[in-house]
């Protein structure tokens, strides 16, 4: 029986990060992955979705660029090329991770593995002895009774990535990050798009003002949506909603979250990443892996969230609805107040900063470059920098970043 210092089940962001850091520290590591290295994020989530999203935004902007003095005629979409580029991007990044694991001398086993006990992992052919085991087996699209995937009409977030032909119309059930991003993708490509959300507002995990702004943006983009609504039944590809209305889309995307995968016999086994069911984000999984292997702590409450598209949406910390009235200060600026936004024709959105006792406790951004802007505020929060100290920083002009500076004076 071959012996290792560390055995890891799952080759996604949590698993491969733990493997690389442990190997760098001199440990002998074995990593088990039954599918492709990179996990959901690289193969079925973040990366392929953003690749398709970029193509959709480019296509949309070409159709709306006359205001910038650019006239483009006979724009054509070859969706097969969109998928081809998506697949090439995945393959290139996967090869990079595989090479890093090889150079780090991590043993990678492409087989399904199960944990026998706290020090033993077994595959169909072999048994491996490990001083320590980490389970990072990830998650899968959530199954809901009545909305079971048939992979043709009722699609999971895995299925939709490989559609060879765009539908003429689509119904998206759920408005979390997956639902919002695919609504944007489909709308950009000219697909008639409808979103159904059970909660009172779209993207219900976000700050209430962010949710309301998304609804305004969707209306302007003619993305139809229903809130406080559920799917009552599905018969002959006709969707009946809880309000009695019926919809007959070409496709349905069920985007109502993900369920942790099972990893049996886990006493004294460390679990990290999506399998914990805590915060199912790749960057959270990466930080968990580093914390576990390197003993470098991080504040889980300061995990940023980003929803991609145009404009981007990002937040960290407390939402306004989480705070008691009269106990906080709110600083806010419209993106349209920034010169850069007019230069870029990206005037939609706002920056909102929530503070208590002179320290930032939450930030919510709807803007171009929001995914970058949120980290400037996050660094201040992480390091307990006061709003008064932030006012001393010289922000470049014209930028979106200066909106943070300007917001503090509002």
With respect to residue 145, please indicate whether it lies within any of the assigned structural domains. Answer: no
Beta strands in 264-379 (DSSP E): 270-271, 305-307, 312-317, 329-334, 350-356, 359-367
244: CATH: 3.50.50.60
CA distance 333 to 355: 15
pLDDT value, residue 266: 67
Residues 21 and 97 in one domain: yes
Q: Cβ(40)–Cβ(274) under 8 Å? A: yes
Closest alpha carbon to 360 in 351, 371, 369: 351
CA distance 115 to 133: 9
- The residue-averaged pLDDT of 24-49 equals 96
pLDDT value, residue 265: 58
The residue among 254, 284, 314 that closes a domain is 254
Please count the structural domains in the chain. Answer: 3
Range of the domain at 164: 154-254
Reported as a single tens digit per residue, the pLDDT across 297-351 is: 999 999 999 999 999 999 999 999 999 999 999 999 999 999 999 999 999 999 9
pLDDT at residue 354 greater than cutoff 90: yes
Residues 43 and 136 in one domain: yes
User: Between the CA of residue 75 and those of 64, 71, 123, 126, what are the distances in Å?
Assistant: 11, 10, 52, 55
Residues 29 and 132 in one domain: yes
Q: Cβ(152)–Cβ(250) under 8 Å? A: no
Residues 234 and 331 in one domain: no
Q: Cβ(202)–Cβ(162) under 8 Å? A: no
Q: Cβ(180)–Cβ(202) under 8 Å? A: yes
User: Strand 251-254 to strand 154-155: parallel, antiparallel, or no bridges (unpaired)?
Assistant: parallel
Give percent of the chain above pLDDT 70: 99
- The residue-averaged pLDDT of 362-368 equals 98
Reported as a single tens digit per residue, the pLDDT across 190-200 is: 999 999 999 99
- Answering whether pTM is above 0.85, one says yes
Q: Among the listed ranges 34-48, 53-67, 265-279, which one has the minimum average pLDDT value?
A: 265-279
Reported as a single tens digit per residue, the pLDDT across 98-154 is: 999 999 999 999 999 999 988 999 999 899 999 999 999 999 999 999 999 999 999
CA distance 278 to 273: 8
Residues 208 and 337 in one domain: no
Residues 263 and 122 in one domain: yes
Q: Cβ(129)–Cβ(1) under 8 Å? A: yes
Residues 239 and 266 in one domain: no
Reported as a single tens digit per residue, the pLDDT across 371-406 is: 999 999 999 999 999 999 999 999 999 999 999 999
CA distance 28 to 72: 57
Q: For all residues of the chain together, what is the average pLDDT?
A: 95
Q: Cβ(401)–Cβ(341) under 8 Å? A: no
CA distance 161 to 44: 7
pLDDT at residue 268 greater than cutoff 90: no
Per-residue confidence at 16, pLDDT binned at 50, 70, 90?
A: very high
pLDDT value, residue 66: 87
CA distance 140 to 261: 6
CA distance 28 to 25: 9
Q: Which helix (H) or strand (E) holds 138?
A: none
Q: Torsion angle, CA of 178/179/183/184, rounded to 10 degrees?
A: -40
393: CATH: 3.30.390.30
Angle between helices 13-24 and 282-294 (to 10 degrees): 30
Triad 201, 311, 372: Cα angle to 5°: 110
Residues 123 and 193 in one domain: no
User: Please, which residues have CB within 8 angstroms of residue 237's CB and are 6 or more apart in sequence?
Assistant: 153, 248, 249
Q: Among the listed ranges 81-85, 115-119, 209-213, which one has the minimum average pLDDT value?
A: 115-119
Q: Which helix (H) or strand (E) holds 108?
A: strand 107-109
With respect to residue 146, please indicate whether it lies within any of the assigned structural domains. Answer: no
Residues 310 and 387 in one domain: yes
Angle between helices 13-24 and 79-103 (to 10 degrees): 30
CA distance 373 to 365: 8
Helix ranges (H only) for 27-156 are 39-44, 46-63, 79-103
pLDDT at residue 160 greater than cutoff 80: yes
- Cα 312 to its chain centre, rounded Å, is 12
With respect to residue 49, please indicate whether it lies within any of the assigned structural domains. Answer: yes
Q: Torsion angle, CA of 119/124/125/126, rounded to 10 degrees?
A: 0
Q: Cβ(262)–Cβ(174) under 8 Å? A: no
Helix ranges (H only) for 303-368 are 339-344
User: Please, which residues have CB within 8 angstroms of residue 259's CB and are 6 or more apart in sequence?
Assistant: 139, 140, 141, 142, 143, 277
- The residue-averaged pLDDT of 15-22 equals 98
Residues 324 and 389 in one domain: yes
CA distance 111 to 114: 10
Residues 214 and 178 in one domain: yes
Per-residue confidence at 64, pLDDT binned at 50, 70, 90?
A: confident
- The residue-averaged pLDDT of 19-37 equals 97
With respect to residue 148, please indicate whether it lies within any of the assigned structural domains. Answer: no
Give percent of the chain above pLDDT 90: 92
With respect to residue 288, please indicate whether it lies within any of the assigned structural domains. Answer: yes
Triad 294, 297, 303: Cα angle to 5°: 120
CA distance 164 to 313: 29
């Amino acid at each position: 029986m071959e012996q290792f210092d560390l055995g890891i089940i799952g080759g996604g962001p949590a698993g491969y990060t733990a493997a690389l850091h442990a190997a760098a520290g001199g440990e002998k590591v074995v990593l088990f992955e039954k599918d492709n290295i990179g996990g959901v994020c690289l193969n079925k989530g973040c990366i392929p979705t953003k690749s398709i999203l970029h193509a959709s935004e480019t296509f949309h902007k070409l159709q709306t660029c006359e205001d910038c003095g650019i006239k483009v005629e006979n724009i054509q979409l070859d969706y097969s090329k969109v998928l081809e580029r998506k697949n090439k991007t995945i393959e290139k990044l996967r090869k990079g991770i595989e090479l890093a694991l090889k150079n780090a001398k991590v043993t990678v086993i492409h087989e399904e593995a199960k944990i026998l006990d706290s020090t033993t992992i077994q595959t169909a052919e072999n048994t491996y002895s490990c001083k320590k085991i980490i389970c990072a087996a990830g998650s899968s699209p959530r199954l809901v009774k009545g909305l079971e995937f048939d992979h043709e009409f009722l699609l999971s977030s895995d299925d939709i990535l490989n559609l060879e032909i765009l539908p003429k119309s689509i119904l998206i059930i759920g408005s979390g990050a997956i639902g919002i991003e695919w609504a944007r993708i489909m709308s950009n490509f000219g697909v008639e798009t409808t979103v159904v959300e059970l909660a009172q507002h779209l993207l219900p995990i976000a700050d209430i003002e962010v949710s309301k702004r998304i609804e305004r943006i969707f209306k302007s983009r003619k993305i139809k949506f229903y809130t406080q609504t559920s799917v009552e039944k599905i018969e002959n590809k006709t969707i009946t909603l809880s309000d009695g209305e019926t919809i007959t889309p070409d496709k349905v995307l069920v985007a109502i979250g993900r369920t942790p995968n099972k990893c049996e016999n886990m006493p004294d086994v460390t679990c990290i990443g999506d399998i914990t069911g805590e915060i199912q984000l790749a960057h959270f999984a990466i930080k968990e892996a580093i914390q576990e292997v390197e003993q470098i702590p991080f504040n889980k409450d300061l995990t940023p969230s980003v929803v991609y598209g145009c404009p981007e949406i990002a937040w960290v910390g407390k939402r306004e609805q989480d705070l008691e009235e009269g106990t906080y200060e709110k600083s806010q600026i419209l993106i349209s107040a920034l010169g850069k936004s007019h230069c870029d024709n990206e005037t939609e959105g706002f920056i909102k900063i929530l503070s208590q006792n002179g320290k930032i406790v939450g930030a919510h951004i709807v803007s171009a470059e929001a995914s970058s802007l949120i980290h400037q505020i996050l660094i201040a929060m992480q390091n307990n920098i006061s709003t008064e100290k932030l006012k001393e920083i010289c922000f470049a002009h014209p930028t979106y970043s200066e909106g943070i500076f300007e917001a503090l004076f509002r």
